[in-house]
C-alpha cells in the first residue's frame, strides 16, 4: 500500500478481536464500510469485502442463517460500537443480495428476502466432506437419516455437525447428481434417508 493511502489505513487502528476468538479485519473499523456506497465500482468492492467478512464470521461461529429481523445474532458483526457505526438492515439486505448473485448465499423463499442461508462452505465442499466421513466410518451401503448426519452421535466432532437443513439438502442434491448417493423420502425432513454407494468414493 502506498504512503498516501496508509494514512487512512492507520486510522483504522487495531483489528477488533471478539471473546469467541474471532478477529475482524481492520476494514471493519472504517466508517464508510457502514454506508452503502452509491458509486457502482466502489459498492462492488465494498459488498465483496462485506461478503468475505460475513462468511468468515459465520464459519467461525458455525452460523448458517442470517435473519434481518433478528438483530441479536449478528450484533457484533454489523454494529461496531467502537466507531459508533452500524449497517442498516437495507444495506445488509443489499449485501446479501450481492452474495446471492455470487452463489455465496440464498434467500429463504418464504421470507421475502428477510432471511438467508450463508454458504460459507460450498455444497460441493460439504458433499466431499460428508461422503469421506461416511466412507471412513464404514456407513456406506446402509441408510442414514438426515438427522443422523446433522445431529448424530457419530458426527459430533465433524464440521457439519448441526448443519442447516437447507445446506444439507443442497449437499445431498449434489451427491445424488454425482450418482454417489440416493435419497429416500421420509415423513419429515429429518426422517429423510440417504444411502451412499461404494462406487461413489
Question: Vertex 170, ends 74 and 92: CA angle to 5°?
Answer: 25
Strand partners, 20: none
Only segment of 36-44, 66-74, 150-158, 169-177 that touches another protein (CB under 8 A): 36-44
The binding track of 46-65 with respect to another protein, each residue x by CB under 8 A or -, is x--x--xx------------
Q: At what angle do helices 40-60 and 89-102 cross, to 10 degrees?
A: 90
User: To the nearest 10°, the Cα dihedral for 31, 25, 52, 3?
Assistant: 70
For another protein, which is the closer residue by CB, 49 or 68? 49
Selected from 37, 93, 158, 183, the binder of another protein by CB under 8 A is: 37
| Min dist. Cβ of residue 60 to another protein (A) | 14
For another protein, which is the closer residue by CB, 13 or 179? 13
Place of cell 476468538: 21
For another protein, which is the closer residue by CB, 30 or 119? 30
Exposed / middle / buried, residue 182 (Cβ in 10 Å: 0-12, 13-18, 19+): middle
**25 binds another protein, rule: CB under 8 A:** yes
Strand partners, 181: 196
Binding site for another protein (CB under 8 A): 1, 4-5, 7-13, 25, 27, 30-35, 37-39, 41-42, 45-46, 49, 52-53, 84-85
Amino acid at each position: 500500500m502506498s504512503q498516501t493511502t496508509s494514512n487512512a489505513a492507520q486510522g483504522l487502528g487495531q483489528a477488533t478481536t471478539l471473546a469467541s476468538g474471532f478477529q475482524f479485519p481492520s476494514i471493519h473499523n472504517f466508517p464508510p464500510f457502514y454506508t452503502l456506497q452509491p458509486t457502482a465500482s466502489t459498492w462492488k468492492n465494498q459488498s465483496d469485502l462485506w461478503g468475505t467478512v460475513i462468511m468468515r464470521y459465520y464459519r467461525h461461529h458455525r452460523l448458517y442463517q442470517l435473519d434481518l429481523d433478528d438483530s441479536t445474532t449478528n450484533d457484533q458483526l454489523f454494529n461496531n460500537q467502537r466507531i459508533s457505526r452500524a449497517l442498516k438492515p437495507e444495506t445488509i439486505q443489499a449485501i446479501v443480495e450481492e452474495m446471492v448473485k455470487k452463489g455465496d448465499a440464498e434467500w429463504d423463499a418464504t421470507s421475502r428476502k428477510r432471511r438467508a442461508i450463508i454458504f460459507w462452505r460450498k455444497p460441493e465442499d460439504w458433499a466431499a466432506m460428508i461422503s469421506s466421513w461416511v466412507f471412513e466410518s464404514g456407513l456406506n451401503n446402509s441408510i442414514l437419516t438426515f438427522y443422523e448426519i446433522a445431529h448424530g452421535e457419530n458426527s459430533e466432532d465433524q464440521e457439519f455437525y448441526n448443519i442447516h437443513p437447507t445446506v444439507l439438502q443442497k449437499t445431498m442434491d449434489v451427491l445424488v447428481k454425482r450418482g454417489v448417493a440416493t435419497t429416500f423420502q421420509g415423513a419429515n425432513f429429518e426422517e429423510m434417508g440417504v444411502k451412499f454407494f461404494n462406487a461413489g468414493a
